[in-house]
Structure 1
């Protein structure tokens, strides 16, 4: 089939901690194909094999285009803090240290005494932040040949356009960038990355980067001659932006490896003492508001006990009802950046009690995140839930009980990938319907 006879699509990619997803979206907003693969780790290491990730995305794009679709625009969203050093040909020299890797704690412990706090930063300074990964990357083999540092999420588009950049929704995650004056803090960059010249230009999410070049896609006949790449960035803000197009003013509670509550505020705001991270608004002059809580890692920790693991599974699938223990204080969730979860000394040994205490404490953390973000968008904003956890009826029931309001899931399972596709389509000049894009999920569409 010739390129002109193929259906034009915008492609959205979501680079997740566990899986990477790709969707194809028509100009009208219909999701017509999707693919998913595990995000490639480097052997038994938690770090990501960045080159393998780019290759896997190329293969998935060929898969979703098949023999009947052609890419006109593409946008990549994903993990917020991970990144790699690259050489002159933009090939990765280091692995991407995962944001939840316990090695970050030791690195951060050594750094912390040398980091002066500043309320003008957009995020809390903790072990999760990119600057910790910068410090780690400098000690890795091959780091001396680096010509730039690139966020893992931005790397595919950097590879296909040949233009290094950093999304302005990812720059705040470094804890070395201030959105208020759009500049790097040299002291922090020098201390961790070593050389500010390794930092690429910061571009606005939704901005056109340039035209795409891919030998794989050209050979497969799936790319238009003038196909464009569009700046993506941090996954949750982009998913939240898409949901807000569908439900104006909504707050998105996204639950996967972590629980992330995100909203778009019409007015700029600075970070306060409520652990709400701030980034520039997407296609607006306002702000993106975001709060992150650990989720899956806490459940994994508690599940080391097989009986507790079984009890958690039964609560999540709705086979058993949780005990109302969310305010018991018997479980303390682990901190971001690798801090260990813990039980209180007086917690009963009964597996159902422990499982209820764990899930209840996690639901309370999510509730507090919702309250913190909602305060800036009117306090009564609608909440929509997304992510793999919405498929667990017991968890949705628990969230509803703890939050004191019904949990309303978004039907589309790949909210971030579709949000990225909506950004790509919009930058292309198309006018996709966000309700069509995010309001449902048709099965059997691959091919």
Structure 2
């Protein structure tokens, strides 16, 4: 089919913890095609081979466009904390340490005494922060050749635009960025990454980065002559921004591998509150408020017992009703940074009780997270759910 007859679309990519998705929409917001695959992981541990992610993304863009669609714009959102050291051509030199990898805990514990925090930082420091991944990446022999660091989410767009960058919704997830000053905390960077010059320029979500330099796309005839690459960023704030375009003031409960409840404060507040992270608001004034809980890992942990897994499935599909034990304290949720879940000593062994306790505790955490972010929100509308767990 001649390129002139292709339907023009914008293509969005979500590099998620569990799955990577690609969707094409037309000028009216109608979904024209979509694809998804498990996010590639190393065969021996939890790390991510960035080149495998790039290959999967480009394959899915080609699959989505086929012989019908023409790309006018590409943008990538995704996981907040993972990243890689790169050479001068933006080729990855190290794997990415996933945000939930238990190895982060030991690295963080060794750093904690040297990273004194205050509420002017965008996030509370913990093992999830990108800084911990920086320390791990520097242990690789290939790191000596590094010319920069790029987030896993931004890497594809950086390659297409032929320029390194970091979205301003991802910079806070490093633990070394203050949005109020739009500046790095150099002592934190030097203590973890080493040279601050390795960090790319921070750009606003939605900024046009440049064209799309991708031979595979060009050879397949799917690129418009003036196709552009647009900065994306952290998936949860971007999803919340999208929801608020349809429902102004909405609070988003984004239920992915992590559960993140997101609201907006239009007051340009420069300080965060306990248990609430902040990031720049997208395409408007103010800040984004985020409260993060682990979701999938807790369910996966409980599902190691086959009988409990069966009961969890039955509760999720509605074929059984949960027992009212969600606030009994039978289940202790796993926390960010690899802290393991556990049952309380007095937790019954009955599979239905355990399944109800696990899902109930997670539901209560989600409910409470809405209350945590809401006092700071200048808009409090309806709560909407999105993400893979909504299904």
Distance across 1 between alignment mates of 2:203 and 2:273: 28
Report if the CA contact (8 A) 1:85-1:150 is conserved: yes
Checking the alignment, whether the CA contact within 8 Å between 2:266 and 2:378 is kept in structure 1 is: no
Task: Provide, for residues 31-63 of structure 1, a one-character-per-residue CA deviation record: whole Å limited to 9, x for no partner.
Answer: 101111111111132111101111111111111
> Quick one: structure 1 residues 114 and 275, their matched pair in 2 at CA, closer, same or farther if it must change by over 3 Å?
same
Distance 2:272 2:325 in 1: 30
Q: Secondary structure at the match of 1:34?
A: strand
Provide the rounded CA distance (Å) in 2 between the counterparts of 1:29 and 1:54: 25
Q: Which runs of 5+ in 2 are unaligned?
A: none
Alignment of 1:23-422 (within 5 A): 23-378=23-378, 380-391=380-391
2:9 corresponding residue in structure 1: 9
| Aligned counterparts of 1:60 and 1:330: Cα–Cα separation in 2 | 43
Residues 268-321 of structure 1: CA distance to partner in whole angstroms, max 9, x if unpaired?
224444311100000011111111101111111112222222221211111111
**Deviation of the 1:379 alpha carbon:** 7.2
Give the deviation of 1:160 after TM superposition: 0.8
Distance, in Å, in 2 between the alignment partners of 1:182 and 1:121 is 11
Task: Give unmatched runs, 5+ long, in structure 1.
Answer: 392-447
> Aligned with 1:93: secondary structure?
coil
Alignment size in residue pairs: 391
Q: Deviations over 1:134-179 (max 9, x none)?
A: 0000001301000000000000011111100000000000000000
Q: Could you list the per-position Cα deviations for residues 334-357 of structure 1 after superposition, in whole angstroms to 9, with x for gaps in the alignment?
A: 110100111111111111111111
- Of 273-282 and 92-101, more deviation after overlay is shown by 273-282
Shift of 1:4: 2.1
Distance 1:297 1:115 in 2: 27
CA contact (8 A) 2:14 2:21 kept: yes
Output the aligned Cα RMSD: 1.2
Does the aligned pair in 2 maintain the 1:271–1:277 contact within 8 Å? no
Change (3 A) 1:225 1:173: same
What CA distance in whole angstroms lies between the structure 2 residues aligned with 1:232 and 1:93? 23
Q: Could you tell me whether the CA contact under 8 Å between 1:241 and 1:263 is conserved in 2?
A: no
- Give distance in 2, aligned partners of 1:271 and 1:79: 24
Distance 1:349 1:40 in 2: 35
Cα shift readout 1:215-271 (whole Å, capped 9, x = no counterpart): 000100000121111110000011110010011110111112111111233222244
Superposed structure 1 runs of 4+ greater than 6 Å apart: none
Kept in 1: contact 2:206–2:232 (CA 8 A): yes
Alpha-carbon distance in structure 1 between the residues aligned to 2:57 and 2:216:
11
Match of 1:394 in 2: none
CA distance in 1, matches of 2:75, 2:366: 29
TM-score, length basis structure 2: 0.98
1:30 Cα shift? 1.0
Please tell me whether the aligned partners of residues 123 and 175 of structure 1 are also in contact (alpha carbons under 8 angstroms): yes
Residue 380 of structure 1 and its aligned partner are, at CA, apart by 4.3
Q: Distance in 2 between matches of 1:133 and 1:341?
A: 23
Choose between structure 1 and 2 for higher RCO, CA contacts under 8 A separated by at least 6 residues.
1
SS of structure 2 residue aligned to 1:143: helix
Query: What is the TM-score normalised by the length of structure 1?
Result: 0.86
Which deviates more, 178-187 or 308-317? 308-317
Shift of 1:377: 2.5
Between the aligned partners of 1:379 and 1:7, the Cα distance in structure 2 is 38
Query: Hey, what's the Cα distance between the residues in 1 that align with 2:270 and 2:372?
Result: 14
